[in-house]
A and B are shown apart, each in its own frame.
Chain A
Amino acid sequence: MIGKILKDQHGHVAGAVPAGPGAARPPITAAHLRKDAWWALPLATFVFLASFVVYSTWAAFQNAHYFAAPYLSPFYSPCISASCVHATFGGGLPDLTFPVIGLLSPAFLVLWGPGLFRLSCYYYRKAYYRSFWLAPPACAVKDVKEGYTGETRFPLVLWNFHRWTWYVAVLFIVVLTWDALLAFRFPAPGGGATWGVGVGTIVMWINVILLAGYTFSCHSCRHVCGGHVNEFSKAPSRYGIWSLVSRINPQHPTFAWLSLFSVGLADLYIRLVSMGIIRDLRITF
């Protein structure tokens, strides 16, 4: 059947638009007839997403104040450059220096991972196609651009690889959880380390919990865990996991925003502690 359709129409569906009694659309020229404040949501999305991109890029270029013992900023974790103040794996890649940029901040060695995960995320795609692409700006409001190819051409066709970025994002959750565990281990005054809890510990744990919520409520995660199965009765464990992920999947947009704020605020908190602008309250045992 599909072969016939493709053969007949050179890749397009046969006889798609019948010429009915009124072959022309309703002669209404207005781009939309909505009376509500439809522009408010895309505008707010634009402001918040753009602000995050500006702040995170600035923070990544700083290459300083990303570590205030024992807290490591999530923008720089895992810190895999040899010049890291806090090398996650005890060493790392040699420093990379570029002609105009200079010394490459270790943040750029890792930010591509979570960056691509968010960029290709099904929720964020909705958010930025509406607020940045304006395709469409809101429901039943005309697209701003005339031509449209959707996600069929480069670079947007690459978003079909979202699954791959999810695998990477899971590794980041492991690393950030390790960082959050290390945030209980404070340097002792006489050398060595002592256990304790600081405001930064709590900030890092809230951040990793929200990031895990975002990562494990992802649509790709839902599919990998069991969405691909057609006979759930023959795969009870996958059905159980799929049901669990399906329960948190509707909260994916909420986790997307909360984790975006938490990762930015966690970096800001550690930055301010590291710069000595604020003092981290902590209890050590």
Chain B
Amino acid sequence: MATTFTLRLFRGDAKGGTFRDYPVESEEGMVVLDLVHRVQASQAPDLACRWNCKAGKCGSCSAEVNGQPRLMCMTRMDLFQPGETISIAPIRTFPIIRDLVTDVSYNYVKAKQVPPLRLKPPEADGTYRMMQEDIDRIQEFHKCIECFLCQDVCHVIRDHEEKKTSFAGPRFFIKIAGLDMHPLDTVDRSRFMKDAAGIGLCNITKCCTEVCPEHIHITDNGIIPLKERLADEMDPVVWLLRKFRGVKPKTNA
């Protein structure tokens, strides 16, 4: 049975904009992106909206639905009360291009700055060997679809624009974690994490984890372990154990 909702869509660009209401019908099984497409097809053909896979895997249709960062294609309409007015805004942390489309190139700049993997020398037979338990932990981070919802919701850059120069954001902390925990990696990223990525600015309020559509435990499994790796430098017990075991330090990035 069809139900009518009102989509309150942001229309505008950097010069100005406003929310406009569009009544639209929803049928069973529909998601927010379906209704946005209906509006686009029937009432606002000039509505700008970025999307691609409609399966929660491309990370293109990020928006703020009723103020909460979400993928529009993964937000089912049965979450809402019939007849409800649903606000849909662009992700507010990034510069707007038009309507629901923002310029997320900040993230690509940050991605380039992460010190890449530098492999240790191969074994005597010229191969590398890793066991499954060595890489189980970092495979979680590889699920990231780069929707940048975690970046959008992170209050460090969302509410403090000036921090964009000195803070990488949660997406890149899990990228760093994936590299730093790699069993074949040889790079010491501690100075990068502290000085360039600004991990000290993160106050672990876990919003990144809450909005992640891939359910990656960004804070518990990524950011906090990185903070703990930095804390190793100040821990006399760890220092003693490393001396005792003869652990070689990684080389600085």
Contact = CB atoms under 8 A, between A and B. Distances in A.
A22 B95 contact: yes
B38 interface: no
Interface string A10-27: 011111111011111111
Nearest to A223: B228
B192 A20 contact: no
Interface in A24-83: 24-28, 32-36
B228 A126 contact: no
Interface string A220-261: 101110011011110000010000000001100000000000
Contact of A18 (B13, B109, B230): B109
B68 A140 contact: yes
Given A27-B14, A139-B153, A233-B133, A17 B96 contact: no
Interface stretch (A86-94, A150-158, A192-200): A150-158
Contacts of B69: 139-140
A28 B203 contact: no
A26 B90 contact: yes
Nearest to A252: B220
Interface residues of A, number: 67
Interface in B174-204: 181-183, 185, 191-192, 195-198, 200-204
Nearest to A13: B196
Given A2-B191, A26-B17, A140 B67 contact: yes
A232 B134 contact: yes
B54 interface: no
Mostly, the B contact residues are: mixed
A32 B67 contact: yes
Contact of B207 (A14, A23, A136): A136
Contact of B200 (A150, A164, A222): A150
Interface in B118-162: 130-131, 133-134, 137, 153, 155-156, 158-161
Interface stretch (A111-119, A141-149, A172-180): A141-149
Given A26-B17, A163-B235, A150 B202 contact: yes
Given A122-B204, A136-B155, A233-B134, A25 B93 contact: yes
Contacts of B137: 232
Given A149-B201, A157-B200, A233-B131, A22 B67 contact: no
A5 interface: yes
11 contacts: A1-B115, A2-B253, A13-B113, A18-B105, A21-B103, A25-B92, A27-B14, A27-B96, A122-B224, A139-B210, A152-B200
Given A227-B225, A231-B134, A232-B134, 4 more contacts: A13-B110, A17-B165, A26-B90, A163-B234
Interface of B: 10, 12-17, 64, 66-69, 87, 89-90, 92-98, 102-103, 105-106, 109-110, 113, 115, 130-131, 133-134, 137, 153, 155-156, 158-161, 163-166, 168, 181-183, 185, 191-192, 195-198, 200-207, 210-211, 219-220, 224-225, 227-232, 234-235, 237-238, 252-253
